[in-house]
């Protein structure tokens, strides 16, 4: 099977990680890169032996087999269009695009039969996959409650928080996606609350440092999604799936970010993950492998644009509920 030549545009925080993963993924021969920043471009050449291009057009014109987009969200729509126009499969980091651009972009992709995989990496995490398998095999019975947690050990830079869209869109969107994906059910309403007990500047830029959303599914299942920027025990990502037959927990292992209140059970013994890139190291690798399989046409797309838009719509509803204090109905955009 010929090796693939992948193009990567956007070489910031997550783009450099994708560059490392692409160069260690079997079946990929060449990594070609472009970034508006000369510094980031040079770094990718030095660190990963990538071939640099001066423009997106030159990158695409070089004959790449697939385009990976890890540029900032505001650039996603135009970059996706360029990949779709060139007739090559696209992997784009979440979210698909800013909400206002979503309906037109979805239509554009559909009309041209574009193949676009979105980077909700938890769908490739072994724990979430096992919980979904167990649920679908009937091992958990019918689900009565799902409880999802995503907490950072420390807040990111205030400059980032000022433009992140809020805690639900930045962090909890991954939980909203997983709850939708795992159950295969629609989330119909969200009721959210948030608080600020840490750095007052987080409130000043319009965000909260801790939040909780109660969600209702179309079959009556209940769920909660909680997030915080101040989790002293470390980066904590978990999901409890409780059913009529059994319960399964994702993220319960030797690196779980908590300690037991029970007497000396000797668990967990490890050090908690520092942040999301360590926690999902393997899942990020798996999603790049999955993209090569999508390019070769040997697997289905693990996260479509419509899937990502559904998760963003829940996050938008949670943010609206936080701001209004009222429960908000979820209406996926452009579906
Ligand atoms: N899946 C996840 O867990 C996850 C985690 C973090 C970020 N993200 C997503 O990844 C994307 C990038 O986030 P980041 O934190 O790496 O951002 P970043 O600001 O660190 O990096 C963005 C890079 O893109 C480049 N860029 C911007 N517009 C460009 C364009 N038009 N052409 C070429 N290069 C361009 C910038 O120069 C910069 O180097 C965002 O959409 C974010 O939502 C996803």
In tens, the pLDDT along 259-269 reads 989 878 889 99
Ligand 1 atom showing the smallest separation from residue 37 Cα:
37
**Is residue 333 pLDDT above 70, yes or no?**
no
Query: How many CB atoms lie under 10 A from the CB of residue 89?
Result: 23
Mean pLDDT of all residues in 25-53: 96
CB 119 within 8 A of CB 93: yes
CB 129 within 8 A of CB 178: no
**Is residue 332 pLDDT above 70, yes or no?**
no
- Would you place residue 1 in the very low, low, confident or very high pLDDT band (cuts 50, 70, 90)? confident
Ligand 1 atom showing the smallest separation from residue 174 Cα:
3
Ligand 1 is surrounded, with C-beta below 6 A, by 9-15, 34-37, 40, 70-73, 75, 93-94, 119, 121, 276
Helix (H, G, I), strand (E, B), or coil: what is residue 309? helix
Write down the pLDDT at residue 335. 53
**Is residue 331 pLDDT above 90, yes or no?**
no
Write down the pLDDT at residue 263. 76
Mean pLDDT of all residues in 311-321: 97
Mean pLDDT of all residues in 185-194: 97
Of the ranges 206-210, 240-244, 255-259, 318-322, which one carries the lowest mean pLDDT score? 255-259
Pocket-testing residue among 8, 9, 11, 12, ligand 1, by greatest number of atoms within 8 A of Cβ: 12
Mean pLDDT of all residues in 185-200: 97
Mean pLDDT of all residues in 32-42: 97
Percent of the chain surpassing pLDDT 70: 99
Ligand 1 atom showing the smallest separation from residue 34 Cα:
33
Measured in angstroms, how far is the CA atom of residue 330 from the centroid of ligand 1? Answer: 27
> Cα(129)–Cα(123) distance, rounded to whole angstroms?
7
Ligand 1 atom showing the smallest separation from residue 276 Cα:
3
CB 68 within 8 A of CB 291: yes
Strand partners, 32: 7, 51
Measured in angstroms, how far is the CA atom of residue 200 from the centroid of ligand 1? Answer: 27
- Measured CA to CA in angstroms, residue 29 lies from 56, 294, 296 at distances of 20, 16, 14
Domains of the chain: 4-114 (3.40.50.720), 123-275+311-329 (3.30.360.10)
């Amino acid at each position: 099977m010929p090796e693939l030549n992948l193009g990567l545009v956007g070489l910031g925080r997550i783009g450099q990680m994708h560059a490392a993963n692409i160069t260690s993924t079997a079946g990929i021969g060449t990594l070609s890169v472009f970034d508006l920043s000369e510094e980031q471009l040079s770094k990718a050449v030095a660190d990963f032996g990538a071939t640099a291009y001066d423009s997106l057009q030159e990158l695409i014109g070089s004959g790449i087999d697939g385009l990976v987009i890890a540029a900032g969200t505001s650039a996603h729509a135009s970059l996706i269009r360029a990949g779709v126009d060139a007739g090559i499969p696209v992997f784009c980091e979440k979210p698909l695009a800013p909400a206002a651009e979503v309906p037109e972009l979805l239509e554009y992709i559909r009309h041209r039969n574009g193949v676009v995989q979105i980077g909700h990496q938890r769908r490739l995490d072994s724990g979430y996959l096992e919980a979904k398998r167990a649920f679908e095999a009937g091992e958990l019975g019918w689900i009565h409650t799902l409880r999802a947690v995503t907490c950072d050990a420390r807040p990111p830079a205030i400059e980032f928080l000022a433009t992140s869209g809020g805690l639900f869109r930045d962090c909890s969107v991954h939980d909203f996606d997983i709850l939708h994906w795992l159950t295969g059910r629609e989330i119909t309403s969200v009721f959210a609350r948030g608080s600020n007990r840490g750095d007052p500047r987080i409130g000043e830029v319009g965000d909260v440092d801790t939040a909780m959303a109660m969600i209702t599914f179309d079959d009556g299942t209940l769920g909660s999604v909680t997030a915080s920027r101040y989790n002293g025990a470390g980066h904590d990502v978990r999901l409890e799936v409780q059913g009529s037959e059994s319960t399964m927990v994702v993220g319960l292992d030797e690196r779980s970010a908590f300690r037991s209140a029970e007497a000396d059970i000797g668990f967990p013994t490890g050090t908690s993950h520092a942040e999301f890139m360590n926690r999902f190291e393997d899942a990020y690798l798996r999603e790049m492998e999955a993209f090569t399989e999508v390019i070769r046409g040997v697997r289905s797309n693990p996260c479509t644009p419509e899937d990502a838009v559904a998760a963003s719509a829940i996050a938008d509803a949670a943010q609206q509920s936080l701001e209004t204090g009222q429960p908000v109905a979820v209406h996926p955009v452009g579906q």
